[in-house]
Structure 1
Amino acid sequence: MIDEDFYRQTYQEVNPDHCIFEKGMLTNQCLCSRNQKLLIAEREAASCTDKDAQARCREFLNTLQQQARFALKLRDAGQKLGHVKAVKVQIGGLRGLYQALHPDQTIPTPLPEVAGLLEEALRAWKSFDQLPFQDIIPEIGRWEPRRRRPRRKR
């Protein structure tokens, strides 16, 4: 078993350009042409091959987290999200954005081309601050991660 502190340090060294939507990429909830999967100590990681796309993703996710604070029941603006809430924001937010851009279409799983989706949103609304959060945030609340199957007793 690998020491978690050592793993985190190695992760930072090996994957400095981590994918902002790594949780969604690794659970096959979304896809991106700028995503590159890596193996670190027998674990998967996701890296971004485009610094401009990574910056857009970071800006979108930061804006989304600020807008979703009430829906996530967060009191403190600096409060760190747990894994489940982080995944809900990432996947639910992308699903909500897809629905806002394509209201007449069913939301696909996995969501295609995250970087392209964010570029399309910026063309439509000029800024992430201008997104229709009243349409996006409810999808964060609706989206539920896949439930783990109970372990078999041996």
Structure 2
Amino acid sequence: MEEDEYRSTYDAVNQRRCIFEKAINARHVGCTQMHRFYLADREGVGCQSEDANRRCIALLERMRRDARFALQLTHIGGPLPHNKEIRVQVGGLLGIQTLVQPERASAGKVENAFDTLNRAEQRFGSIDAIPFNEVMKDIKQFQGRSRRRGFKK
């Protein structure tokens, strides 16, 4: 399947793409609102809730905007490179989880992004009221998996 054909089929199958799909597929984040599907030997993630999807999109846009300094970027004019996007998604959700569930600060994984966002909105009143200066520390510190360096024989 060519990439353009795959992408159009993916969009037809997945009407409401999970904005945290990269973090979920990297196995750092889970969510009760997600649903997994397989297409051409690849795994995709959709969202079951329009409201949750809208809130997550707003959250990720805010985290990307605020993460420019932590990622050493002057501006974000489009999609981030994969590793930086993973840092924003996973590091950001881990940071928010630490704020609302300090007992999970060292968990290294967000079990339920939907619950984490709900708790943050209950505690702070809105997405914009979350203290993102605290969250940025986690984005800056998060390191995805290390790059593999060739094969050893």
TM-score, reference length from structure 1:
0.91
Query: 1:57 and 1:152 mapped to 2: Cα distance?
Result: 39
**2:28 paired with 1:29:** yes
* Residue number in structure 2 paired with 1:69: 68
Q: Are residues 1:20 and 2:13 paired?
A: no
Structure 1 gap ranges (5+):
none
Aligned-residue offset at 1:104: 4.5
Q: CA RMSD in A?
A: 1.6
Distance 1:77 1:145 in 2: 20
Q: Is the 8 A contact 1:19 1:47 kept in 2?
A: yes
Offset from partner CA, 1:63-94 (integer Å, 9 cap, x none): 11111111112222424211111110000000
Segment of structure 1 superposing worse, 16-25 or 98-107: 98-107
Amino acid in structure 2 at the alignment position of 1:82: P
Match of 2:127 in 1: 128
Residue 87 of structure 1 is matched in structure 2 by: 86
Per-residue displacement from partner, 1:115-153 (whole Å, max 9, x unpaired)? 111011011111111111121001001000112444536
- How far apart are residue 102 of structure 1 and its match? 2.5
| Structure 2 unmatched runs, 5+ | none
With structure 2 as the length reference, what TM-score do the two structures score? 0.92
Please give the alpha-carbon distance, in whole angstroms, between the structure 1 residues aligned to 2:75 and 2:104: 36
User: Partners in 2 of 1:140 and 1:81 — Cα distance?
Assistant: 14
Letter in 2 for 1:88: R
Q: Distance in 2 between matches of 1:50 and 1:71?
A: 31
Distance 2:112 2:125 in 1: 19
**CA distance in 2 between partners of 1:112 and 1:18 (Å):** 19
1:3 maps onto 2:2 in alignment: yes
**Percent sequence identity over matched residues?**
33
Q: Deviations over 1:9-35 (max 9, x none)?
A: 111111121111101111110111111
Question: Would the alpha carbon gap of residues 5 and 50 (structure 1) be closer, same or farther in structure 2, given more than 3 Å must change?
Answer: same
1:112 and 2:107 equivalent? no
| Contact 2:97 2:105 (C-alpha < 8 Å) held by counterparts | no
Q: Distance in 2 between matches of 1:70 and 1:109?
A: 23
Contact 1:30 1:109 in 2 (8 A): no
Which residue identity lines up with residue 39 of structure 2 in the other structure? I
Indicate conservation of the 8 Å contact 1:92/1:142, yes or no: yes
